[in-house]
Amino acid sequence: MTHVLVFGSRGQLAQELKRAEWKEGTTLTFLGRADADLSAPQTLAPIVEQARPDAIVIAAAYTAVDKAESEEALATAVNAKGPAAISAAAAAWDVPVIYVSTDYIFDGNKEGWYDEADKPSPLSAYGRSKLAGEERVRSANPRHLILRTSWVYSAHGSNFVRTMIRLAASRDAVDVVEDQFGCPTAAADLAQAISRVLPALLDPAARFGTYHLAGASDTTWHGFAEGVFTALAQRGMSRPQNLAIKTSAYPTPARRPMNSRLLSAHFRDIYGVSLPPWEESLPKVLNELLPA
């Protein structure tokens, strides 16, 4: 039997981890905020010690990117100090930890795709908090798998796809940024990848470290919205006009990286796992969200 302790229960990734296919004999325990508050790091070690899991997935995070600009201390507690405490407690029992990070640790100034050798340089409080989380997890537990992903979407929670569907129902036209590039990643694909590689992490010879794991194809927010709106039209639903705008026309408290393309080839080479392109995964999510 393999017992996996998951910090997080209601977020997009946690929801999909519940539905993922796991190796026979694997049991998962999900801890919501009421069970484990990552903003209170001093309370987390006893939880790990009592559970004594075989592996830990830190799926909980502070993800309010713009709000983090005025709550950086809280974002850092949840995204860095809490995961560090979990990782240190896990290390005492030689338990591997998976920490999910983000494209926001980069400034987006690179011309091509980012790989793991590129130097992080976050533009926002959220990005800084996640980079701090990477660094603290890395220092606290040598048996760590840090997975950087991007533009996560699903049928759950708050995400770009759900927002576009909501706006399409109430507007004739929608302004969407056309000069930010990234790799949309279905939470279900990310969860399934974690379930596939987790057994390998229990091997003492596992290749731990920091990896990129995102959707295999890139687009802009405008291009991603076009995929959603086209699917609405195919279902006979209202299709708004998709108006392309520049980032400068849509100011936000937090600066976004203009280029969030993450190259996942290293993870594929080491673990034999890669995620499908967003064009393949988006219809599955839309089938959940839209009437037949």
Q: What is the pTM of this model?
A: 0.94
pLDDT given at position 292:
66
- Rounded Cα–Cα distance for residues 60 and 17 (Å): 12
Mean pLDDT of 174-181: 96
Mean pLDDT of 268-273: 95
Q: Is 151 exposed, middle or buried (0-12, 13-18, 19+ CB in 10 A)?
A: buried
Residue 195: inside a domain = yes
pLDDT given at position 238:
86
Q: Look up the CATH number of the domain holding residue 71.
A: 3.40.50.720
Q: Is the pLDDT of residue 291 over 80?
A: no
The one-letter code for the residue type at 261 is R
- Of the pLDDT bands very low, low, confident and very high (cuts 50, 70, 90), residue 79 is very high
Identify the domain containing residue 89 by its residue range: 2-158+184-215+262-274
Counts of helices then strands in the chain (DSSP H, E): 10, 13
Residue burial 215-240, b: 16+ Cβ < 10 Å; e: rest: bbbbbbbbbbbbbbbebbeeeeeebb
DSSP 3-state assignment of 241? strand
How many domains, the chain?
1
Residue 289: inside a domain = no
| Cβ proximity of 258 and 189 under 8 Å | no
Please measure the distance between the N-terminal and C-terminal CA atoms of the chain and give it in whole angstroms: 40
| Cβ proximity of 25 and 15 under 8 Å | no
- What is the per-residue pLDDT across 179-191, written as a single tens digit (0 to 9) for each? 999 999 999 999 9
Among candidate residues 60, 12, 69, the one with its CA nearest the CA of residue 256: 69
Residue 164: inside a domain = no
- Of the pLDDT bands very low, low, confident and very high (cuts 50, 70, 90), residue 204 is confident
Alpha helix stretches (DSSP H) within the chain:
12-19, 44-51, 72-76, 82-92, 125-140, 160-168, 187-201, 221-234, 265-271, 278-289
Neighbouring C-beta atoms of residue 91, cutoff 10 Å: 19
* Sequential DSSP letters for 87-111: HHHHHHTT--EEEEEEGGGS-S--S
| Cβ proximity of 150 and 262 under 8 Å | yes
Mean pLDDT of 216-225: 97
Establish whether 250 is a catalytic residue.
no
Residue 96: inside a domain = yes
pLDDT given at position 205:
87
- Rounded Cα–Cα distance for residues 99 and 121 (Å): 19
Residue 284: inside a domain = no
Average model confidence (pLDDT) for the chain?
96
Mean pLDDT of 165-169: 94
- Taken as a whole, the chain contains a residue count of 292
DSSP 3-state assignment of 43? helix
- What is the per-residue pLDDT across 88-137, written as a single tens digit (0 to 9) for each? 999 999 999 999 999 999 999 999 999 999 999 999 999 999 999 999 99
The one-letter code for the residue type at 187 is A
Of the candidates 99, 126, 153, 211, the residue annotated as catalytic is 126
- What is the per-residue pLDDT across 12-53, written as a single tens digit (0 to 9) for each? 999 999 999 999 999 999 999 999 999 999 999 999 999 999
Mean pLDDT of 200-221: 95
Mean pLDDT of 156-180: 94
